[in-house]
Amino acid sequence: MKKVIPLVSERPHWAHAAPPFTGGKLVDTRARPMRDLRISVTDRCNFRCVYCMPREVFESHQFLPHSAILSFEEIARLARIFVGLGVEKIRLTGGEPLVRRDLHRLVAMLAELEVEVTLTTNGSLLARQAKALKAAGLDRVTVSLDSLDDATFKAMNDADFPVAKVIEAIDVAAAEGLPVKINTVVKRGVNDQDVVRMAERWRGSGHIVRFIEYMDVGSSNGWAMDDVVPSAEVVRRISARWPLVAVDPHYTGEVAERWRYVDGAGEIGVISSVTQAFCATCNRMRLSTEGSLFTCLFAQSGHDLKSLVRRGASDDDIRNEIAAVWQKRDDRYSEIRTEATSRERKVEMSYIGG
């Protein structure tokens, strides 16, 4: 079987320490500010979703040893530095973040930074951890659920995990006071027939379902343009049943385009990375499980921060390195995507989070 090796992060690419960041608004080469930080807390997952960690590729995959991944204290220290550079929201991802033991401890550390702290999960372990996560200060949870049809869902997660358990976890999280969003990756011929049913299930529930175009993340999911269901098609299908009207974003750089039901039954979102690239306003930075910094979901390499942390660099040194990476950032992969670029070797989503 083919074995996937995570892309090895390069060491900081400056021969000497990065120049001091003098303050002011931190922007990249396209004048994009850094607002959101996604932190992958583990490269492990108990699902083998076909668009992320296909079993035939990851069956014999060698995951990172515990000593190689950032500790909670190291993550919290880096997060504090990021917040000082303008980050307003932190999202914990994986892999499946809830397989990381005692994750609520990290949530409590991050909650002290007085920024929004959120979590994306497949929902399999959420019911038993929701209470502790809420008590620790988690602001919101996003649950991945790709179909309401049990056979389709099990085929997509390839772990024989039932829909009912995910819905139960959503209900438990909501009962604990956690706002819930639901993410659905739509792949033509696999689950696109469930789009309207998914919208119907969550209409009026207070939860927002977001439909995500199937993307060429990583190098192992066999992506093809023919598998993509454009978000415009998703909106048309749903609006034909329940009329929708476009809603302004909450903030500049929000990736989900918002649509509200005319009858007042809530809203949906669509994420159109393939057909309506939003690179021009992308404000996300990603921190991998082992402490590498990635400036794009479709990146081919990252920038090593862990070695700085573990060799005793000061907060100022680390801040300067992060600022220098962002100031050099010029990523716009989705704007220039072609069939050829989709086949290029890229970091796997399970390594840096979605």
The answer to whether 206 and 173 have CB atoms below 8 angstroms apart is: no
Which stretches of 59-162 are DSSP H helices? 72-84, 103-111, 126-136, 150-157
- The closest alpha carbon to 113, from 147, 87, 141, belongs to 87
Average pLDDT over residues 324-338: 84
Q: Are strands 284-287 and 292-294 parallel, antiparallel or unpaired?
A: antiparallel
pLDDT at 318 (0 to 100)? 97
Query: 107 in a domain, yes or no?
Result: yes
pLDDT at 4 (0 to 100)? 43
Chain segment 336-352, per-residue pLDDT in tens:
776 666 566 657 766 67
- The closest alpha carbon to 38, from 340, 282, 327, 345, belongs to 282
Average pLDDT over residues 83-95: 95
Query: 149 in a domain, yes or no?
Result: yes
The answer to whether 202 and 160 have CB atoms below 8 angstroms apart is: no
Give Cβ neighbours of residue 246 (< 8 Å, ≥ 6 apart).
257, 258, 259, 260
pLDDT at 349 (0 to 100)? 67
The answer to whether 9 and 305 have CB atoms below 8 angstroms apart is: no
- Of the pLDDT bands very low, low, confident and very high (cuts 50, 70, 90), residue 251 is confident
Cβ burial, residue 31 (10 Å; 0-12/13-18/19+):
exposed
State how far the Cα of 154 lies from the Cα of 147, in Å rounded to an integer: 9
Q: What are phi and psi of 288, to 5 degrees?
A: -75, 170
In the DSSP assignment, the letter for residue 170 is H
Q: pTM of the predicted model, to two decimals?
A: 0.90
pLDDT at 220 (0 to 100)? 61
Query: 4 in a domain, yes or no?
Result: no
- The closest alpha carbon to 229, from 190, 186, 194, 270, belongs to 186
Query: 12 in a domain, yes or no?
Result: no
Greater model confidence, 312 or 4: 312
DSSP 295-323: SSTT-S--EE-HHHHHTT--HHHHHHHHH
Query: 14 in a domain, yes or no?
Result: no
Query: 16 in a domain, yes or no?
Result: no
Query: 85 in a domain, yes or no?
Result: yes
Rounded to the nearest integer, the mean pLDDT of the chain is 89
Give Cβ neighbours of residue 299 (< 8 Å, ≥ 6 apart).
331, 346, 347, 352
- Of the pLDDT bands very low, low, confident and very high (cuts 50, 70, 90), residue 354 is low
Number of structural domains found in the chain: 1
| CATH number, domain containing residue 82 | 3.20.20.70
Q: What are phi and psi of 191, to 5 degrees?
A: -140, 10
Walk across the sheet containing 303-304 and list its strands.
244-247, 257-261, 267-271, 208-213, 180-186, 140-144, 116-121, 89-93, 36-40, 284-287, 292-294, 303-304
Chain segment 9-50, per-residue pLDDT in tens:
444 444 457 888 988 889 999 999 999 999 999 999 888 887
The answer to whether 235 and 256 have CB atoms below 8 angstroms apart is: no
State how far the Cα of 68 lies from the Cα of 145, in Å rounded to an integer: 30
State the residue range of the domain holding 56. Answer: 36-349
State how far the Cα of 189 lies from the Cα of 183, in Å rounded to an integer: 18
Query: 91 in a domain, yes or no?
Result: yes
Q: Is the pLDDT of residue 308 over 90?
A: yes
Chain segment 97-153, per-residue pLDDT in tens:
999 999 999 999 999 998 999 999 999 999 999 999 999 999 999 999 999 999 999
Chain segment 155-191, per-residue pLDDT in tens:
989 999 999 999 999 999 999 999 999 999 999 999 9
- In terms of residues, how long is the chain? 354
